[in-house]
Structure 1
Amino acid sequence: MSKNRQLKEEKVQEIREKLEKAQGVILAKYQGLTVEEDTELRKRLREAGVEYKVYKNTLVTIAAKELGHEGIVEHLNGPLSIAFGYEDPTAPARVLNDFAKDHKKLELKAGIVQGEIFDEAKVKELASIPPKEVLLAKLLGSFKAPLSNLVYLLNAVKEKQESEQA
């Protein structure tokens, strides 16, 4: 086997492993970004715990087909970057979408979130979902409010009974 073929097979294996491990994968067209803009984007993605790579579309196609993600193949044309979110499936979409608002050259193309193929519209919808921590805080807040009201009510009843006894 030639050295070149061996390198390509190793890259396909690497891509397949990343696709399997990631909860959220977003494809974006990055052509036209300056080096400074790309550096800023990579920094924001890294801070959000997102891995950002550029691979040859043919290698990504092979890996995607091996995993049964044929639906993503139609979006693999032109120079594309891939953002892999391993802990928060919405993080890659959110960071890329926020960055694209200020940098019109960056275009979201498609994604795979927990095995489901997302088109551009669904990716933008996904980007509007708050981070997991914010959702948990809202959930806990919604639990806390009724409990706090119950405590205030019980305390008021107790104080009223104490004042009536006095």
Structure 2
Amino acid sequence: MDRTQKGVVVEELKGVFAENQVVVFAHYAGLTVAELTDLRIEAAKAGASVKVVKNRLAKLALENHDAKDAGAYLTGPTAIAYSVDPTVAPKVFADFAKKNDKLVLTGGFMGATVLNADGVKALATLPSLDELRGKIVGLLQAPASKLASITQAPAAQLARVFNAYATKDAA
């Protein structure tokens, strides 16, 4: 790889680091090409991307980033996963690491916050943004449905009373 190609890669990584909410680093030593392809497919289905990076180029891309201290986790054969949703990339790597011992989480960053391996695993256990939005909508709808049932209840009770008087007179 010549100097201009390296410059292109560094600029591409700067864009990846700037555009995504979370970036996770992992060692992938010992993974076969098929296993790495499976990881990429799982990530794409979930809405994340996986890329194998050269550590020196990734460190250069991190130099002016708020999370430049995350470069300490760029050692050995490194793969990165990144996504706009802050829980997707950590979940993909954590789930794959549970199934395959050869993928080892090392760290990453979310915005300006540098995460160690335990921080990435903790982030992986959180619900996704879509799940949280669904819970909020459910919480907002619950009082409205209760209010509707409360306002309809007196009318229904009144109708039953009138029906009871009507059937009493008929009997």
**TM superposition score normalised by structure 1:** 0.90
1:5 alignment partner in structure 2: 3
d(CA) in 2 for partners of 1:56, 1:159: 71
2:103 alignment partner in structure 1: 106
Letter in 1 for 2:21: Q
Question: Where do residues 1-150 of structure 1 align in structure 2 (5 Å cutoff)?
Answer: 4-85=2-83, 87-150=84-147
Letter in 2 for 1:92: A
2:154 aligned to which of 135, 138, 157: 157
d(CA) in 2 for partners of 1:98, 1:159: 52
> How far does the alpha carbon of each residue in 1:100-119 deviate from its partner, in whole angstroms, 9 at most, with x for none?
11111111111111221111
Unpaired segments ≥5 residues, structure 1: none
Letter in 2 for 1:131: S
* SS of 1:28 mapped into structure 2: strand
| Aligned residue pairs, count | 163
Letter in 2 for 1:120: A
Letter in 2 for 1:55: V
d(CA) in 2 for partners of 1:139, 1:53: 34
d(CA) in 1 for partners of 2:102, 2:155: 64
d(CA) in 2 for partners of 1:49, 1:115: 22
Unpaired segments ≥5 residues, structure 2: 164-171
**Regions of 4+ moved over 4 Å:** none
d(CA) in 1 for partners of 2:141, 2:53: 47
Q: Is the 8 A contact 1:89 1:114 kept in 2?
A: no
Q: What CA RMSD, in Å, does the superposition of the two structures yield over aligned residues? A: 1.6
d(CA) in 2 for partners of 1:37, 1:59: 24
- Report how far residue 42 of structure 1 moved: 0.7
* SS of 2:53 mapped into structure 1: coil
d(CA) in 1 for partners of 2:24, 2:73: 11
d(CA) in 1 for partners of 2:143, 2:68: 47
